Structure 1
Amino acid sequence: MNLKDKDLQYVLDWIAIQELVAEYGQAIDFGRDTGDWSRWANVFTPHVTADYTRFRGGGDPSYLTREELAEFGRASLVPFSKVQHATATSVRIRFKSSTLAEVMAYAEVAHYFTLGGIQQEWTIIARYTHEVEKTPDGWKIRKVLLDPIHYRGNPLGLELVNGKRLV
């Protein structure tokens, strides 16, 4: 899209996509805090490609319903007492058409858990790449890629998010 093509609709779409990317992280935190994952499911199209392979150490991207992805998120965060997504302003929104865009955003996500009565923290700094689609219900994520950049804190956190459970 050329600069001369950036009209009011472009600005409205740009703001809506920024809001969607922020909602992605905040809705995960809300789901973990309340047990209601419908808010997170609502950021996605009815079917979504979820590529967490770089984060989870391999495998293939998953093609899931948004409800299945919400259940995946819930199950992954069971070991943590709290999670906090701090999503930066989108690094870049690249419109592919008036109804399709690619968005890159950075996030710092803290995960809190208790080990031996002592609060622990494990944090991931990551880049999200979202493919978003304009639907009758607004902009929705149809593909997500999580690319870890750095981890800090107790490395047990990565094992917990990948399914390890403390006895």
Structure 2
Amino acid sequence: MKGQDLQYVLDWIAVQELVAEYGQAIDFGKDTGDWSRWVNCFTPQMTADYTRLFGGEPITMAREQIAKLGSDALAVFTRVQHATANTVRTHFKSATEAQAMAYADVGHFFPLNGVVQEWTVVIRYTHDLEKTAEGWRIRKVLLDPIHFRGNLLGLELARGKRLV
């Protein structure tokens, strides 16, 4: 793709919007229980690679299944807030394939003995993207945690530990 043509600019804007929507749709899903915005970020078949945070293997699934994955992973937290960087690096591989990298500070909030706690993870997201009939969508997401701050019990809660 040429950097000077109008289609490049339109695609670049669409990718920026998609990457911002990814994080905001997670927050919206957690707040409302409606995960449809997040589901809509993905291709019909997608891969979620959260192994650098949770271990295990990447998961390939139908996009409708990602809603349960997100809901279950965040169930222990009362709120989640993605602050995605407004600079997203996009590499267009072709007119229908791209890769975008973005950083986000993701705050997770949970109560402990009646006091709200915060655990924040600085993340680098790498999104493999595909241009579909619906527009640009995420075919694969890789979550790479860079730094943790706040109450590190949040990390243990994210990994499945539950308070008795």
TM-score, normalised on structure 2? 0.97
Could you say what secondary structure the match of 1:10 adopts?
A: helix
Aligned to 1:136: 133
Aligned to 2:26: 28
Q: Sequence identity of aligned pairs in percent?
A: 67
Looking at structure 2, the residues matched to 29 and 67 of structure 1 have their Cα atoms a distance apart, in angstroms, of 17
1:106 to 103, 106, 109: 103
1:125 to 112, 122, 127: 122
Looking at structure 2, the residues matched to 41 and 92 of structure 1 have their Cα atoms a distance apart, in angstroms, of 23
Pair 59,37 (structure 1): closer, same or farther in 2 beyond 3 Å? same
Aligned to 2:16: 18
Which consecutive aligned stretches of 4+ in structure 1 deviate over 3 angstroms post-superposition? none
Contact 1:90 1:104 in 2 (8 A): no
Which whole-Å deviations, capped at 9, do the CAs of 1:39-84 have from their partners, x for residues lacking one?
111100111111000011x221110111111110100001111100
Looking at structure 1, the residues matched to 110 and 22 of structure 2 have their Cα atoms a distance apart, in angstroms, of 22
Looking at structure 2, the residues matched to 74 and 95 of structure 1 have their Cα atoms a distance apart, in angstroms, of 31
1:90 deviation in Å?
3.7
Could you say what secondary structure the match of 1:163 adopts?
A: coil
Contact 2:2 2:8 in 1 (8 A): no
Aligned to 2:91: 94
Cα RMSD of the aligned pairs, angstroms, is: 1.0
1:49 to 44, 47, 53: 47
Structure 1 counterpart of 2:26, one-letter code: I
Structure 2 counterpart of 1:14, one-letter code: W
1:89 deviation in Å?
2.1
Contact 1:53 1:61 in 2 (8 A): yes
Contact 2:125 2:141 in 1 (8 A): yes
The number of residues matched between the two structures is 164
Looking at structure 1, the residues matched to 103 and 43 of structure 2 have their Cα atoms a distance apart, in angstroms, of 21
Contact 1:21 1:90 in 2 (8 A): no
Matches within 5 A, 1:155-166: 155-166=152-163
Contact 2:16 2:88 in 1 (8 A): no
Unaligned stretches of 5+ in structure 2? none
1:16 deviation in Å?
0.3
1:122 deviation in Å?
0.2
